[in-house]
Amino acid sequence: MAGMGQAALRLGALLDDRIGVAWQAVKVRLGLLRPVEAVCYRGHGTAGRLWLRGRVLERQGIARATGSDTVWQNLANMWRRFTSDELRGARVVARHADRTVQTVTDGEGFFDVSIVPGSGLPPGWLWHPVQVTVAGPLARDQSPPRTVGQVLVPPAHATFGVISDIDDTVVRTGLTSPLLMTASIVLLNNAHTRSPFAGVAAFYRARQQGADGAGGNPVFYVSSSPWNLYDLLVQFLDVHDIPAGPLFLTDWGIDDRAFVTGGHGEHKLARIEALLATYPDLPFVLVGDSGQQDPEVYRQVVREHPGRVAAIYIRDVTSPERDRQVHAIAADVRAMGVDVLLVADTVTAAEHAAGRGLIDPSALPGIRAQRAHDDSAR
């Protein structure tokens, strides 16, 4: 029965792709294609290579959220996000300085480019621009649209990196199902009306600055939310002054495994291992919550990559039964020589980080003050 189910999913995905290709060709031929745009996701890289991901879509018309938006306005934006028309086989040209690469989008409209800087990167820059142009197909009479993506390259003086979950780690949801979390994000709230955990923004800024205050410690965000929510999540980070960083989200769709492409643990482990390989000389602080599989994933990372994890912070958001499991995992990780802190409060985590030399102790009063302010604003 399982084999028949997987075969049905594969057949459904194949039919969906064939229909999509045919319909796109009809729209191009009849001039029905709406204006095309490229969405660039924040990328990451090194002095020797820049990676940038994005998507080519027919223009979505998503309105930027405000604090006074109604549920119906949030619903309208949600509808536009999840009914977007992606362009398959679109030709994309990416340029950084004197280097140009070309690629085409996949069946979901995604593109990935990798650029080797020709003349080196400008010193002192944390973010590096990559210009992206869509060469076609285009709407009738449309000039090739251009946009600029940004790629984060950690400076040489970075002392560690941070890999953080988002839901129930940075922002409170109280939900452990990815589907329910997505519904909560897009149906009931927006970037202005969702609230981060008290004190989170100041704590993340302190980690980015590091114990010496030099700044430049990179922050990466890994979430099971779909790429359709990228603009909302980036706006949430910006609105609440939480450090900018590349986001690694998931592609939700039908394949031969499940409705959601990949699971939370599988997705997170793959992204962490890729970052460890990209920055082999950089230790990492892992931040997550107890609600899904973060403790299990982080234990596996510590076991398989000894010496690469500086500390682990787990926000406790679950039941006593799950807490017992998480405490047992934490004991395993501590036995491997890595500190694990299970906390319900940001200040407790910040005090531990200051004691471990991960943040400047002088940042603690600001973190406490922001926690108090955030608590009073609820």
130, with CB counted inside 10 A (0-12, 13-18, 19+), is buried
- Residue-wise pLDDT tens digits, 178-218: 555 555 554 556 665 666 888 999 999 999 999 999 889 99
Q: Cα–Cα distances in Å, from 143 out to 17, 133, 139, 140, 256?
A: 27, 10, 8, 9, 38
8 A C-beta contact, residue 25 and residue 126: no
Q: What is the largest CA-CA distance in the chain?
A: 65
Structure token digits, residue 284: 């990492």
The beta strands (E) that lie in 59-122 are given as 91-96, 99-104, 110-115
Confidence (pTM):
0.88
Residues in the chain where the model's pLDDT stays below 50: 1-2, 5, 8-9, 12, 186, 254-261
In this prediction, residue 104 carries a pLDDT of 97
Check the CA dihedral 172-173-179-185 and report its sign.
negative
- Residue-wise pLDDT tens digits, 25-62: 778 788 778 889 999 999 999 999 999 999 999 887 77
CA-closest candidate to residue 231, choices 42, 27, 10: 42
In this prediction, residue 257 carries a pLDDT of 39
CA-closest candidate to residue 90, choices 21, 15, 16: 21
8 A C-beta contact, residue 279 and residue 46: yes
Structure token digits, residue 237: 């980070």
The beta strands (E) that lie in the chain are given as 36-46, 49-58, 91-96, 99-104, 110-115, 127-136, 146-152, 161-164, 219-226, 247-250, 284-289, 309-315, 339-343
Instruction: Give me the domains of the chain, ranges plus CATH numbers.
Output: 33-152 (2.60.40.10), 161-377 (3.40.50)
